[in-house]
Amino acid sequence: QKEVEQDPGPLSVPEGAIVSLNCTYSNSAFQYFMWYRQYSRKGPELLMYTYSSGNKEDGRFTAQVDKSSKYISLFIRDSQPSDSATYLCAMSGGGGSYIPTFGRGTSLIVHP
């Protein structure tokens, strides 16, 4: 079992839809959870950063962490064609160098 599992997709939705992207993980030591967005032929960019369990909202984006289930989610409201990208989850433990483990990414396509 990989440490971080993420469905590669592609996930295709119509403009305006609510999108749910998810990752599961096996390492209970993970405390820091991140979502990166990667446009085609670009480097990943940090989208959301959360510590421990709970929700964090930023505009149309909400990150949710459920440590008891080892499950994290990213919700995108009112999705736009400009949201079409690959979304990578990443997580790291506390202490040391906080080196994250990345999921392989989910490809999202939002069509007009």
Partner 1 sequence: DAGVIQSPRHEVTEMGQEVTLRCKPISGHDYLFWYRQTMMRGLELLIYFNNNVPIDDSGMPEDRFSAKMPNASFSTLKIQPSEPRDSAVYFCASRTGTRGYTFGSGTRLTVV
Q: For binding to partner 1 (CB under 8 A), which residues are involved?
A: 32, 34, 36, 41-46, 49, 88, 90, 97-100, 102-105
Q: Which is nearer to partner 1, 68 or 97 (CB)?
A: 97
- Least distance (Å) between residue 75 CB and partner 1: 19
| Cα separations in angstroms, 42 against 24, 38, 46, 54 | 25, 6, 12, 30
CB 55 within 8 A of CB 44: no
- Least distance (Å) between residue 7 CB and partner 1: 13
10 SS3 class: coil
Q: Which is nearer to partner 1, 18 or 39 (CB)?
A: 39
- How many H helices and E strands in the chain? 0, 11
- Least distance (Å) between residue 83 CB and partner 1: 19
Q: Which is nearer to partner 1, 15 or 51 (CB)?
A: 51
Q: Report how far residue 108's alpha carbon sits from residue 12's, in angstroms, rounded to the nearest whole number.
A: 6
